[in-house]
Amino acid sequence: MVDKTLCCSGTEEASEEELLCRLDEVIEEYKDKPGSLIPVLQLAQAIFGYLPESALKRVALGLDKSYSEVAGVVSFYAFFSTNPKGRQTIRVCMGTACYVRGGKQLLEALKDKLKIEVGESTPDRELSLEVARCFGACGLAPTMSIGEEVYKRVRPAKVGEIIDEYYKKHVSAKGEAV
């Protein structure tokens, strides 16, 4: 059993070792329950914000399963992620109207500006990039969103301005979320 005093530091952001301690507690609670793999992975993702390799190895070891079985379950279900997520998600609509009216070019402009691919997050973990199937705003295509805010008739040339404005509004000069 893990000494719980090692798991709590009182700091705002926990270290990986502290997060692994929390995961050990979850594994201990679930290890003898049938069908515990998915609930443990869900809780691990809640602890870390995603599923790093260190957590997958710890789950495999703790539940006496092979790493390939654990990794296979994670890769099968879309709700699991092995990439860290940003504080906010940018979604680009790739529905028919948005695609035809420049959605692909909009996505490319975002990838260039953010220096990330779909499914990844910016190094500061502020923004993640995803595609969506339809926003229901076909007459205003192409569309994208950042969190809950939807941007309509977005041209690739406007992407830099939108991202810069987002950072001005939501991230302080020190790089901390506001």
**Class of 88-170 per CATH?**
alpha beta
pLDDT tops 70 at residue 175: no
Q: Please state whether the predicted TM-score (pTM) of the whole model is above 0.75.
A: no
In the block, residue with structure tokens 């691990």: 44
- The pairing of beta strand 88-93 with beta strand 127-132: parallel
10-50 pLDDT, tens digit per residue, is 445 689 899 999 999 999 999 999 999 999 999 999 999 89
**DSSP assignment of the chain:** ---GGGT----SS--HHHHHHHHHHHHHHHTTSTT-HHHHHHHHHHHHSS--HHHHHHHHHHTT--HHHHHHHHHH-TT--SSPPPSEEEEEE-SHHHIIIIIHHHHHHHHHHHT--TT-B-TTSSEEEEEES--S-GGG-S-EEETTEEE-S--GGGHHHHHHHHHHHHB-TTS-B-
Every domain range in the chain assigned CATH 3.40.30.10: 88-170
108-161 pLDDT, tens digit per residue, is 999 999 999 998 999 999 999 999 999 999 999 999 999 999 999 999 999 999
Nearest C-alpha neighbor of 41 from the set 7, 88, 74: 74
CA–CA gap between residue 121 and residue 83 (Å, rounded): 8
